[in-house]
A and B are shown apart, each in its own frame.
Chain A
């Protein structure tokens, strides 16, 4: 890509990533949440990959890493939802942590944790789909 695209990406990618993290962490207070913020975070990664490119081996390494991240975070979601079975009234998906005051950042029990793990999962899975398409094309030319 040209210098203009690279320079703009260098300035913008971090801000986009931060905005996605903000949307994920404030998911229980403002509009947004795990799904919306995760896609914004993956957009930052896709922007960097599109602007700077990468060689074939690096891309494959990144794909392996994001697949592992994705599977670990879905495992964490299932463990978190099953953790309600071991506390108190033994209900699946029980919100077992203390609720706190409505409207504060640390409140709503386990909902922010669900938001964070769903955000990680969505971000890595969208990025894996993008990388799979790029790698498929590069593999074709080798």
Chain B
């Protein structure tokens, strides 16, 4: 399973890199789809069907909207010539990447192996979740009972986002 997740993650990285460098914006959008659908397969392999359902539907709807937006443009990416400032920034970001990777490597060497061992808090949820909430699906029990405040915040964020979209996307009354 680890091998499969590694291969899919590699494909996702390739798709993301291609999406940055594609000349045609439509192929860049399709390459973004590789990242999203690869993530769906990763969620399924890591036994998270709740997340996989949300991710596959959101990815499809986002792709539809992005394709509709791209088809209304000239579909060509603006070409930037590489100058001295660009080379400096690229070197700085490579150094930053190396430093981050080093500290990441140091920090994961002291953690548990992936998927093994649970935190004390999570252990209590798994043991008494069904009895305390009465919900057979443990994820829903945690989301709507133990972590109710978080869910209320998420729903409020969605409402606020819609208010922002409606406020920005109007032509009448803009002046």
Contacts and interface: CB of A to CB of B under 8 A. Distances in A.
B20 interface: no
- Greatest chain B CB density within 10 A among A36, A46, A122, A130 is at A36
B159 A125 contact: yes
B166 A43 contact: no
Contacts of B155: 74, 77, 118, 121-122
Interface in A41-93: 42-43, 46, 50, 63, 67, 70-71, 74, 77-78, 81, 92-93
Interface residues of B, number: 43
B151 interface: yes
Nearest to A41: B57
B162 A67 contact: yes
Contact of B143 (A33, A39, A122): A33
Interface string B81-93: 0000000000000
B98 interface: no
B54 A114 contact: no
Given A31-B49, A39-B57, A129-B162, A136 B145 contact: no
Contacts of A114: 144, 151
Contact of A67 (B50, B65, B166): B166
Interface in B135-175: 135-137, 139-141, 143-145, 148-149, 151-152, 154-156, 158-159, 161-162, 165-166, 169-172
5 contacts: A36-B57, A46-B61, A99-B133, A108-B140, A121-B158
